[in-house]
Structure 1
Amino acid sequence: MRLYFEKCVLDTDRRELRRGERPVPVQPQVFDLLVHLIENRDRVVTKDDLLEAVWNGRIVSESTLISRINAARRAIGDDGEQQRLIRTIARKGVRFVGEVEKRQAVASSSLPIEGAPEPPAATMALVDRPSIAVLPFTNMSGDTEHDFFVDGITEDLITALSRIRQFLVIARNATLRYKRELPDIREITATLGVRYVVEGSVRRDAGRVRVSAQLLDGGTGNHVWAERFDRKLDDIFAIQDEIAREIAGQIEPELGRAEYERTKATPPENLGAWELFHRGMALIAQRTRDGNAEARRVLERSLALDSGFAPAHAAIAWSQAEDLFFCYAAHDPKDILDRARRAVVLDDRDALSHLALAWGLTFDRQPESAVNAAKRAIALNPSFAHAYAILGRLLIQSGRCDEGIRQAEWALRLSPFAPSARQYLNVLAVGYLYLGNDAKAVEFARESIHSFDTWAQHMIITSALGHLGDHEGAKHEIRETRKHRPDFSITQVLRDYVVFDATCLDRLLAGLRKAGVAETSKLGLTSRRS
C-alpha cells in the first residue's frame, strides 16, 4: 500500500519513504510510528497507543518518544513549530492532520509522486543505509515446471535478508522486470537506487539441486562474494528455506566488510549514522583491544548524529563485552547491561540489540535470561550466525554441551568465512573439553588460533592436554597463555572466565591443575587486567 500526502509517498510494503524525488532514510521505529499515525489520522493517538504499536507495549522514556515523533516530522518535511502534518494535542497525544490518498502499489523501481515526473533512473539517490536488490534467480534446468522452486528461492532470500535490520532490501516487485532480460549491473543499481545486487541460478537434476549465488558491488560491478550450494532434494520447501538462510548468513558479514572498505578512506565527519555504524562493526570484527576502542569512538560519532540509534548502542555494549571476555580492558558489567537494555528499548525488533543483551546478561551472571535473549535475536534474524555461536557458548557454559555444539556448528555452516568464524571453532573446543573429548578440543582450539589468537584458546588447550597427560605440551601452552595473560593462574581463570555449570568448571580446573597451572600468580597481577 502506498500513502500519498503533500510531496511524500510512504510505501508500507517496501517500507520506503520518498519526499519529492529523493528517498528518505528512516529508522524502523520512526517508520512504524509514521504509519500508525497516518492509519489512525481520524483520531488523536495517545502515548499508550504509540507504546503498544511501536514498542510492543514496552515502557520508554518521554524523551525517546519525543525524539521519534520529531524524527518522523523531519522525515516528511515537518517540524515541531509548524506542525503542518503531525500536530501535538496538549495533554492528549498527537494526530496526523495532512490529507492522505491510499493506492495499491504496483511493480516499479521508484515511488512516483502525484503530479510529478518520474525521476531519471541514473539520478536515483542512494539511502544512507546499505541497500541491496535480489534479482530473480535463473532457472538453468530448461524445464519451466521448476520455475516455482527457483522463484521460491528468490522470495525466501529476500525475506531472510529483510530480517537483517542493518540493510535495506528492495521488494521483489521492483526486480521482476529483470527475470527475462538482465542489463548491466550498474544500470540496475542506478535504476533501483541500491548499492549491492544479489544474482544467482538454480539447476535441478536427478533428485539434487545446485544453487549458485553472487553478491556484486553496483558501483564497480565487481564481485564481493560468490558461493555454490548443493543439496539432495528431499523436502522442497525445507530446502528452499535452508539455502536462503545460508546465503543470507554468508552475505551479511560480506556486506559489512564491503561497507567498511567503501568508506574507510572517508573522514568520519563526512559519514552518516549508518555508515559509521558499519565502520564500527568492522573494527569490532578485528577482535583486538585497539579495534574495540576505535570502534567505540566511531559509534559515539554515530550516536551524535542520532542518539536513539539502537544498533550503535548495541555495538558499543558488544565491544565492551568482548573486551571483558578477551581481557582486553575493564568495564563495569552493569554499564554493559544498561547500554544493551537501552538498545532493546529503542528497537525491540533489532536482533543485534538482543544479542548485546545476551552478552550483558552473561557478565551479570544470568544464564537463563542470556539464553532467552540470544534465542530472541535468532527469532528476529534466523540468518544471524554470531547469535547461534553466542547461544552455543551460553548453552555449553550452562552444561548443555550437546545442544551448544549443535548451535555452534550451525553458526559455522551459516557463515564459514565471516571474520568471527574462527571464534566459533573455540566454542566447539570448549564443548568437547567439557564432554571429555580432549583430543577434539585441542584440534578445534588450535585451528581457531591460526587466525584468532587469544588467551582463551590456549587455556582450553592447556586443560585438555592436562587431561591427556601431555605434560610437555601443557607446559608450552602455559607459556603461550602467559604471553596474553602474564597472571595466568587458577585464580585468574575463576575471575575472568565465565562458566555457569559447576561440573563443567570442575573439569576445566582439573585439567589446568593436572597441567601444572599455579593456583595464584607469582607476579602479583591478579587484581588488574592486561
Structure 2
Amino acid sequence: MAEGSVQRRLAAILAADVVGYSKLVAADETAALSQLARLRREVVEPAIHRHEGRLFKAMGDGFLAEFASPVRALECAIAIQNGTTGMRLRIGIHLGDVVADQDDLLGDGVNLAARLEGIAAPGGITISRPLYDQVRDRVKAAFSDKGEVSLKNLPRPIQVFSVQTTPAPAATAYPALPDKPSIAVLPFQNMSGDSEQEYFADGMVEDIITALSRFTTLFVIARNSSFTFKGKPVDVRQVGRELGVRYVLEGSVRRSGDRLRITAQLIDAAMNKHVWAERLDGSAGDIFDLQDALTAKIVNSVSLWVEKAELERVRIKPTVDLDAYELYVKGMALQRYERRFEEAYRHFVQAFTLDPGYAAAYAMAGYTLCFQHISYGSPIPPDVRAEALRLAQKVAVLPHEDAHALARAAHILSFIGQQYDLAKELVDRAIVLNPSHGYCWMSRGWVSINYGDADLAIDCFTRVLRLDPLDPHQAYAWTGLACAYNCLEQYEAGFQWALKAVEAHPLMYTLAYLVINAVPAGRTAEARDAFAKMLRMRPDLTVRDALQLCLTKDTDWLERMARTFREIGLPE
C-alpha cells in the first residue's frame, strides 16, 4: 500500500458466493459461466446500485460489496436472495472497521464478512452481532440467534444470526429471454368440426413440445403454460413477453376420416414478424412422420447448432401403433380435463395391451391409479400401491427413451415405494433425455426431496417455475419449495411458499407443509388454522399418517417434522 493512500472507516461488508459452483462448472462449464454472468448483470449489480452500495471486488463465483448503511446492506442481501433463480447464493454481512486502499477494502471487517458467508445456509444470510444491533428494528425480517460461533482464523467466537428471507417471485415481472433460442408452441385449433377430435389435436401439439424440448440447444416452454392460451384470442407479442420466449408457433389440425391436414406458422414474437408458414397433408397413419417434419422445420429455423444425431434421436417414437397412440392421448385428456380417472386408467391399460413396449402408457396407468390418493392424502390401498409400483418398475426395465415416462415412474417409485436410488437413476436419465421438460424437473425436485437433497430440489423447482411460468398447477412447485426450505431450516421462507400453495390448493399435503414451517417460524395462528383444516379432512390423522406426506430418507429431517406435528397436537 502506498503511504497516504490508506484510510480506515466503518462499513457494512456484504460477502456472497455461489453454492456448488464447481459442480455446476463440471456439469456444463459454458452454461454455468453464462448463468453466473446473467446473475451478476440482472440481479446482483442492480440490487447493489439500488441500495446505495459499491461492488469493490468480484472473484470467480463470489463478490464483495460495501455499504455505508447496515440497513441498506441487509435490504440488498434480501433483494438478491429473493431475485436469484437457478444458482443459489450464501451471503454474510458484518459491520466493522475496514482499511481502504484506493478502490479496494482490506482488514478484519472484510475477512469476517467472508467467514460469515461460509457458514450461511444455501440461499441464506448470516450476519454478525454488530450488524444485527443496527438492523433488528429497522428491517422487516425474521432473525434466528445461532449463538457464539468459532470462525476460522479469528481469536474468539462471535455471536451470529441467520436471516429468514422470503424468496417469492415477483408477480408482475416478465421473464427475461434465455441465452439460447426459446419457443412456445400454442394449442392448435381443431378445425374438424368434431369436438371428439380435440384430444387428438392437443395430443399432437404436446408431442411436438416434447420433441422440441429434447434439443439441448433450445429453451422450450412446458405444455401447461402453453395451454393456458387454449381457446383464447392471442396477441403473439404478449405471449412472448408473458412466457419469456422469442418464437411462438401456432396452427390448426383438420381431421376428416383418414385424412389429416396440419397448418402451422412460426412467428418471431420479439420482432413481431412471420418466419414461415407450412401446410402438411397426409393420412392419420402418417401423423408421426408429419410431426417429425414439422419439428425439424422448427428446429432448423431457430437454431444453428443442432446436431444430426440429436435430430435423429428425436425421431424415436414412444409407439408406432396409431390405435395405441389414440387411446393414450384420449386417456390423457380424460385425466387432465375431465378427472375421469378410472376411465383414463382403462385407456392406458388398453394402450399398453396393444403395444407392450409403450412405456408412457404404463407410467400414466400407474400414476392415474394413485393420483387421487396422492392429492388428497388418503391412504393408498395395498392392492393399488402394488399395481402402481409394478407398472412403474415395468417402465424402468423397458428399452425406451421416453423422458416423461421415466419421470412419472420415478415419482411413483420414490413417493409410494421409497425406492429412492432407482427413482433417482430414472429421473436423472429423464433430464438428460429431455432437458426442457417441465414435468421432468418437477419429478426430479420431488425425488430430490425424498432423497434428502434440498439444495437440488430448490434448483429443480425453480427451473419448473421458469419453464412453466403460467402453469395453473404451479402449487406443486411452490409446495416443493416449502418442503425444501423446511429441510434447510429456513422456516419463514418455507412458510411463505406453503402459504401460496395452500391459497391455490388447500389440500392435505399443502396444509401439512404449511404446518411444518409455520410452527418453527413462530406463525402460531396460521399453524393452528391449517392443522384444524387437516383434522376436518381426516379426524383420525396421526403423526405417522402426516409423515407419509413428507417422505424422505433423511432421518434427522423426518424427526424434526415429527416433533413439529407432535407439538401442534397430533397423536402418534
With structure 1 as the length reference, what TM-score do the two structures score?
Answer: 0.48
With structure 2 as the length reference, what TM-score do the two structures score?
Answer: 0.45
